[in-house]
Amino acid sequence: MKNTYEKVKLSYNQVLLLIIVLRLILGLTYMPVVHVSKGNQDTWIILLLSIIYKIIFNFPLIYLSNKFNNFNLLEFADKIMGKFLGTIITMFYTIIFLLANILFVTIFVEVLDVALFPLTPTWFNTVLAFITCAYISYKGLNGLCRFGETVVPIIIGGTFFLVLLGVNNFDFSELLPILSDSSFKDLNLGAMNTSFRFADILILVMITPKLTNKKDLNKIFINSTIYSILMVTILIVATQITLGVEYTKHANFPFLIYTRTISIGEIYGFDSLYIGIWIMGNIMKISAYLYFSTIALEKLTRKNNQVFIIPVSIILIILTIFIKDREPILPIAGRLNAIIQILSIIAIIIVPSIMLIVYYFRRKRLRNT
Partner 1 sequence: MKRKILTTILATIIFLTGCWDARELNELGISLVIGFDIEDDKVLITAEIINPVYSSEEAKGDQIQSVEYVQGIGNTILEASRDITLKFDRRLFISHNKVVIFGEEFAKRGLVKNIDQLLREREHRETAKVLIAKGAKAYEVMGISSGVEQIPANYIAEIVNNIKYNPKTGDVNFIQFLKHYYHEGRHPVAGVVEKKSKDEINKVGNDGSDKDYELTTLGMAVFKGDKLVGYLNGNDTKSVNFILNKIRGGIITFPTPSENQEAENLRDFSSTVIIENKTKRDVEIIDNKVILKAKINLKTSMGEIIGDVDVSNTENIKKMEDACSKAIEEGISLAVKRVQEEFKVDIFGFGVEFHKKYPDKWKEIRDDWDQIFSEAEFQINVNTKIIRTGLINTPLFKIKVK
Q: Which residue in the set 63, 135, 160, 170 belongs to the binding site for partner 1 (CB under 8 A)?
A: 135
Q: Please, are residues 204 and 220 in contact by the beta-carbon 8 Å criterion?
A: yes
Among candidate residues 15, 34, 80, 29, the one with its CA nearest the CA of residue 244: 34
The answer to whether residue 63 forms part of the interface with partner 1 (CB under 8 A) is: no
Alpha helices (runs of H) in the chain, residue ranges in sequence order: 12-29, 43-57, 59-67, 73-111, 122-138, 140-165, 184-197, 201-207, 216-243, 245-250, 254-260, 271-301, 306-324, 333-344, 351-368
Question: Smallest distance from the beta carbon of 243 to partner 1, in angstroms?
Answer: 6
Residues in 172-231 that interact with partner 1 by CB under 8 A: 173-174, 176-177, 180-181
Q: Which is nearer to partner 1, 223 or 263 (CB)?
A: 263
Cα of 205 vs its chain's centroid, Å: 14
Of the candidate spans 49-57, 62-70, 212-220, 237-245, the one that interacts with partner 1 by CB under 8 A turns out to be 237-245
- Return the number of other C-beta atoms located less than 10 Å from residue 282's C-beta: 25
Q: Which is nearer to partner 1, 161 or 247 (CB)?
A: 247
Q: Which residues make Cβ contacts (< 8 Å) with residue 190, sequence separation at least 6?
A: 33, 36, 37, 38, 39, 43, 46, 49, 50, 182
The answer to whether residue 336 forms part of the interface with partner 1 (CB under 8 A) is: no
Q: Mask 268-287, x = binds partner 1 (CB under 8 A)?
A: x----------x---x----
Residue type, 318: I
Residues in 81-120 that interact with partner 1 by CB under 8 A: 112, 114-120
Q: Which is nearer to partner 1, 192 or 243 (CB)?
A: 243
Binding residues for partner 1 (CB under 8 A): 112, 114-121, 124-125, 128-129, 131-132, 135, 169, 171, 173-174, 176-177, 180-181, 242-247, 257, 260-261, 263, 268, 279, 283
